[in-house]
Every structure is written in C-alpha cells, then in structure tokens.
Structure 1
Amino acid sequence: MSAVFSARHTGLGTFAILSWGTLGALGALSASLPPYLVLTVCFAIAAAMGVFICVATGRRPARLLDRRIGLFAGLLATYHLAYLEAFHHAAPIPVSLINYLWPACLIILGNLFFRLHSGPAGYLGAALGFAGVLALIGKDGFALQASDALGYGLAFLGAILWALFSNLRRHDQSDAIPAMTTICFGASLLCGIWWGASGANLPDLQAMDIGVMLALGLGPAGGAFFLWDLGMRHGHAALLGVLGYSAPVFSTLLMLSLGMGNPGWEIFAAIGLITMGGIVVHAGPKNASPDKTNLEKG
C-alpha cells in the first residue's frame, strides 16, 4: 500500500472519536445497570455487526483461538474493566479525564516502540493536548487524596492499555474487519464470564435500559472499534492520536447542553489547546519512508 496517509480512513477514525464523545452521557444513563453486563452486551452487538459486514463482503471472522486474537480481546476487555472499576474509587470527572490521556500515551508509546515516527511535532501536539485535558480538570482536579489514588491509577492504566491496544493493532497484518469481529466476540465472552463469576443476577430491564445498551453497542462501546481500527491501521495515526483529545471536549459540551454542568473558562481554554495540538501534528512530517509508515497492508 502507498506510504501516503489515507484521508478517508483518517476520517473514519475521527468519527470513532466523535462517537466516544457520547460515552459520558450514555454511561451516566447506564449507571443503574451492572457494568460487566453492559460490556458483555455491547461487545456482542459489535461482534454481530462485524459478522454482518463479513457476510456482506464475503469474508470469514478470524479464529477465536488465535493467540493474537486472544491478546487483543484481553486488552480490550481489561481496558474497559479497569476504566469502569476506577469509578468505584474516585470522582467520575477526574477519572474520565485521566483516562483521556490515552492519546498522549499512544504517541509516546508509538514513537518509542512502534515506529510511529511522529517527530517533534507529535510530542508538542501531545503536550498541548495534555494541557487541554489539565484545563478541563480545573485547578482542584489533581488535589489527590489517598482514597482516590487507586481510582486515578486504574484510569491511567486504562489510558496505557488503550494506547497499547491501538499501537499493536496498527501493526497487525490480519484483515481489520474479520479480526475485530472475533476480538469483540472474545471480549464479550471475557466480560460475560467476569460478570457471571461475580454472582450478579440479570436485572429487570426497562425500554430505556435496552435503548442505552443498543446505543453504546452501535456507537462508542462497539461499532466505533471498527472505525478506530481502520483509522489507526490505514490513516494518519499520529494525527488521530492528538485528535483523540477532542473526545473529552465533545463529551463535556454534550453534557453542558444536557444541563449536566456549568460552562467555565477552562472549557474554552481546552478547546483552543486541543485544536492547536491537532494543527501542530498535522503540520508535521507528511512523507514517511516505507519502513516508517503506519499504512501496513491489512
């Protein structure tokens, strides 16, 4: 495949980021449901979407017992479990925003270990995005108490896990859609086993509960995985890493529009810093050599 970044696949990755911006509001609506049940259903919906695409395009899902599939399914499930568990130990807004350090982790890990080669522009863009997240947290956001340490640690672990998952998938040679179909199925199995082992019972589901799980499965906790996978493997991965900072911005603006908070100067400061970060990365090197490109044939 050509070393020129695919604008179409970068756009698909951007749609995934916008979808993740709805995760906060949808997550709040699902707060009364067992989180592992929600994840089991969401990953199952994603797997069903993948099967439909495979059938429509004449493909077959990847083998479940493939060790690479097992690794990716484990990372996907563990990331979400760490993220949800963090909310049990610390305040939700700092947890959510610390987890959004994954774009900086993606660029740093990618440059160090995965031949991302974003150059100085990538580091500067990541730093600007990180500053934007700090602005969103606010002046008292990191007044760390001992009781919050575990929650914040789990949130940061989640950021590292998602960055690791994204970088590893970027270099995987398997066809994206069949692989992600089986990865989501495996993650659904893992979360279902975890939920069953906890001894939780199936709650009485209302129409709203079903609608929320469907929205999560079709969007930020399911369907977006396919868009992100295609974007990371065939689009401008470094730019997507910094654009990932728009997810907390979009999420915050959505919550404000729903009356879940009050606007402040930090919101607008964050938007400016995050936008600058994306511009800086986009202005960086465009012509990678073949051994440095992130457009490896899937």
Structure 2
Amino acid sequence: MQGQVSVRHTGLGALAILSWGTLGALGALSASLPPHLVLTFCFAIAAGIGWTICRLTGRTPARLLDGRVALFAALLAAYHLVYLEAFHHAAPIPVSLINYLWPACLIILGNLFFRLHSGWPGYLGAALGFIGVGVLIGKDGLALQSSEVFGYGLALSGALLWALFSNLRRHERFDAIASLTTICLGASLLCGVWWAATDAHWPDLARRDIGVILALGVGPAGGAFFLWDLGMRQGHAALLGVLGYSAPVLSTLLMLGLGMGTPGWEIFVAIAFITLGGAVVQFGART
C-alpha cells in the first residue's frame, strides 16, 4: 500500500512540474492585464482549492494574522508580481529562463544565510545557470534596450524572491496545506489592495483573459503549490527533484510552439546550461 501511495503522490508532484512548464506561456498571455489584478484572482482560486482540501481532510487553515503566514504571503505575492511584470518589459523566453535561475539562487542564499552547506556542487550548478543566462541575453552584445534590462532585472528579482521563500519554507513546522491555504488568501488580499491603491480600473476582460486567469489559478500560480507539497512529502522526493529541472525545457518549447519567440542556438545553449546547473544543484543539496 505504501508503494501505491508513493507512486500516486509522485504523480501529483509530476503534474505540478508539468503545470509550472506552462507558467511562462500563461504569464506572457496575461501581459495585457494588470499583474496585481490577475494574481488577486489566481491566489483566491488557490485559497479556495486549499480550503476544499482542508475541509476534506479535517485540517484547520492557519491564522491569517500569524506573523510567518504574513511574511510568506508577502513573498509569494512579490515573486509572482515581479515575474508577471517582467513580461511587460522584455521578451518572454529570456524572462522565463532567467526566472529558472531560482535553484542557483536558492543554493547561494541557502549557503550564506540558511546553513544549507551544499558544498562545491551547489556553487558549480549556480555558475552554470548564470553562464546559460549570460549566453542568452548577451547574444546582442551591448544592444539591450533599457526596458529589456529592467525586465530581466525583474525576472532575476523573482528568482531571488522564490529562493528566499523556498529556504524559509524548508524550516516551516506548520502543516503545509493548512498554512499554504492561508498564505494564498493573504497573497490575494495583498495583491487586491495593491491593485485598488495603484490602478483600480477594471480592464475589459475577453474570454481568453478569463481562461488565462483560471488556468494560472488552477495550475502554476495556485493548484500546483498543493500538488508539489503532496508530492514532496509523500512521493519520491529525489525523483521529483530531478524531474523539476525539465520545467525550463517544457516552458521554452511551449512558448516556441505558440510563436512567442524565434528558435536560435542561444536559447538551446541556455536551456542546456540552466538544466545542467539545476541538476548539479540538486546533487549538491543531497550530498
């Protein structure tokens, strides 16, 4: 029975990875909408999913005013806000791939501040990831526009924020589903307040826009959080860690298939370096 449970939950974690492979494309498709409004709905959907799981499993969601819940809600909202905002300023494929430097950032921050002690494989993996991004955005030499630089900076900031979020969550003692439910609710409220305070106009939502918001909320910016947590806690965590580095490949291939970029050698070199760096990071984290 334990083997069946493990296989089933490993499958749930793999679904989360497939879902994250769509985040770049969905983020680019949402670029015509205010990111804080999009995320208000996405996190509300995620909180609804978590509340349903809590009801079915007898859990009690964490308190909204808990200090650590508020911190995680702020980090979760900030990460997604800067990531979606980056698509407003730079090409979607580089933005997506720069965001996938988060494993490298996780190792660097973890070693510096969270006693991760990954050793040399962690630093080597981080260096490989940054080399891949350097190849990608350096193909035009010094011809980058200021808007592109800003977009790339936002994407890198997102990678740092997700790395910080992940390092802090590693030391979290509360039930993950119960806390994530409230974290998503808090993130939704924060994004809604930000939208109301800075840009409180209601955009014209086409049917496609509504579909993109629903897909983000059910998938990579919502439901995938819970799938990943179940997979990591009750599935084959090591296998999922390796599979997780297929996400940049899936993301890039999907965006190319949707016509969001032009295939070029630098894209595939960047994918190779970032994926290889992620695999080395994973090795370092396990040794």
> Shorter-normalised TM-score: what interval?
0.7 to 0.9
1:295 alignment partner in structure 2: none
Which structure has the highest helix share of the two?
Answer: 2
CA distance in 1, matches of 2:142, 2:159: 17
1:265 alignment partner in structure 2: 265
Q: Structure 1 residues 110, 285: closer, same or farther in 2, change over 3 A?
A: closer
Cα distance, 1:264 vs. partner? 2.2
Retained in 1: the 8 A contact 2:103–2:278? no
CA distance in 2, matches of 1:150, 1:166: 24
Retained in 2: the 8 A contact 1:169–1:233? no
1:38 alignment partner in structure 2: 38
What does 1:253-292 align with in structure 2 at a 5 Å threshold? 253-281=253-281, 283-284=283-284, 286=286
Cα distance, 1:76 vs. partner? 0.9
Instruction: Determine what percentage of the aligned residue pairs are the same residue.
Output: 76
Cα distance, 1:189 vs. partner? 0.3
1:54 alignment partner in structure 2: 54
2:16 alignment partner in structure 1: 16
Could you tell me the TM-score, scaled by structure 2's length?
Answer: 0.83
2:112 alignment partner in structure 1: 112
- 1:24 corresponds to which letter in structure 2? G
CA distance in 1, matches of 2:278, 2:39: 31
CA distance in 2, matches of 1:249, 1:126: 17
1:128 alignment partner in structure 2: 128
1:35-94 Cα deviation digits (max 9, x unpaired)? 211100000000000001111111011100100000000111112222233444555444
2:225 alignment partner in structure 1: 225
Retained in 2: the 8 A contact 1:128–1:276? yes
Answer with 12-21 or 245-254: which moved more.
12-21
What does 1:89-238 align with in structure 2 at a 5 Å threshold? 89-137=89-137, 139-140=139-140, 143-146=143-146, 148-229=148-229
Could you tell me the TM-score, scaled by structure 1's length?
Answer: 0.80
Q: Structure 1 residues 93, 267: closer, same or farther in 2, change over 3 A?
A: closer
CA distance in 2, matches of 1:31, 1:102: 22
Retained in 1: the 8 A contact 2:245–2:279? no
Where 1:152 maps in the other structure, the secondary structure is helix
1:143-164 Cα deviation digits (max 9, x unpaired)? 5555554443333222211100
Where 1:26 maps in the other structure, the secondary structure is helix
Unaligned segments of structure 1, at least 5 residues: 1-5, 288-298
- 2:208 corresponds to which letter in structure 1? M
Aligned length: 281
Unaligned segments of structure 2, at least 5 residues: 1-5
Where 1:256 maps in the other structure, the secondary structure is helix
Retained in 2: the 8 A contact 1:129–1:245? no
CA distance in 1, matches of 2:230, 2:131: 28
Q: Structure 1 residues 244, 141: closer, same or farther in 2, change over 3 A?
A: farther
1:251 and 2:251 matched: yes
Retained in 1: the 8 A contact 2:27–2:87? no
